[in-house]
Structure 1
Amino acid sequence: MWDTRLKGAELTPFSVEVERGRLLAFAKATGQDNPVYFDEMAARAAGHPSLPVPPTFFFCLEMDGPNPMEIYERLGIDYAHVLHGEQHFVFHRMAFAGEVLCFKPRLADLYEKKGGALGFLVWETRVEDSAGAAVADLRTVMVVRQPKQRGLA
C-alpha cells in the first residue's frame, strides 16, 4: 500500500507563536470553566506567567504548519479516506500565551490491518520552546480506508 521506506521520515519543522486570542477562542469553544484559561489575572494569580495552553490545543497549533497535508501528500493518500484514530500526549512542562513553540514532526510508523483494507499511519511531533527544551510530545494515529474497487466482489 505505502512506501514503508518513509517510516521514520522527518516532516517539515516549523515554529508558531501561541496567540492569546486563539487561546481565548479555544477556551470558549471547549467550554472551559477554569478562569486560568480565559482570565489573564486569574492565570497570574495561579502562578502562571500568562494564559496556559490546554493540552489538546497543541494539535490546533500543529495545523499551523506550512503544509498540514504534507504527510498525506508524501504517502499519496486521498484525504477523503482518512479517519481520526487516536491522539496521545506526553507533557514535559506547561506552555503559555506569547511563547514561540517549535514543532518537529516525523512519520513514526505505517502498518495495515484487514488484509490492507485499513492502513494506519502514526506520526509523532516533538514540541520545544525557543531554547530547545521539550514542552510536549504528540502522537497521532490516522486510519486510511482503502476504497472498494468497482466491479470487484
Structure 2
Amino acid sequence: MSLDRSVIGREFPPVSLLIDRSRLRNFAKATGQLDPIYTDLDAAKNAGHRDLPVPPTFLFGIELEAPNPVAYLDELGIDLRTILHGEQQFDYHRIAYAGDELTAAATITDLYEKKGGLLEFLVRESTVTNQDGATVAVLRNILVVQNQPEKAAS
C-alpha cells in the first residue's frame, strides 16, 4: 500500500500529561540515569533546579498516554506489522520539571520513498509545550513502512 502525499500537514489531537516525581524517578531508573538530580529532590535543588527535571527522551512517552497511541496509523491505513522505527530526534528548548503539564501536538511533515516505493518514510514532528504555552522540545520521528512488491499478473 502506498501512502498519499496529501497526508503531509495533517495534524493530530494533542495529548497532555501532568508530570509527577514518581513517574520521573521510575523513568530515570528504567533508563539508567545515574545522576541523582533525576531521582532526589534535594540533589536537584542543590544543582539549581526548581524540582526534578525531566530526564532525556522522557518526552517521547507523552503521546503514548493517548487512549490509542497508534490511532493515527490506523487512520492512515498502515498495518502495524509493516512498520519499523527509523529515527528519533529531540530538539530541546527548555527544561521541564515535575509538576509541569506537558502537551504534545503532532503533525506529519514529510513523506518520501526509497527502493521504488518498497519503503516509505513517514516523518512526524511533535511540539511539546508546557502549561504556559512555551515550547519545551520538538520531537522528530521517522517510521519506515515496508510495502510488498506488486505481483506480476499471471
Distance 2:70 2:135 in 1: 24
Distance 1:106 1:80 in 2: 22
- The TM-score normalised by the length of structure 1 is 0.92
| Residue equivalent to 2:105 | 104
RMSD between superposed Cα atoms in Å? 1.7
Residue type at the aligned position of 1:32: Q
Residue type at the aligned position of 1:81: T
Query: Which of structure 1's runs of 4+ aligned residues deviate more than 3 A?
Result: 147-152
CA contact (8 A) 2:19 2:97 kept: yes
| Residue equivalent to 2:26 | 25
| Residue equivalent to 1:13 | 14
Would you say how many aligned residue pairs link Structure 1 and Structure 2?
152
Q: CA deviation at 1:148?
A: 5.3
Q: Which ranges in structure 1 are unaligned for 5 or more consecutive residues?
A: none
- The TM-score normalised by the length of structure 2 is 0.92
Q: CA deviation at 1:81?
A: 1.2
1:101-146 deviation line (CA, Å, top 9, x unaligned): 1111111111111011111101001111111111111100011112
Q: Secondary structure at 1:63's aligned position in 2? A: helix
| Residue equivalent to 1:46 | 47
Distance 1:32 1:42 in 2: 14
- Of all paired residues, the percent bearing the same amino acid is 48
| Residue equivalent to 2:88 | 87
Residue type at the aligned position of 1:11: F
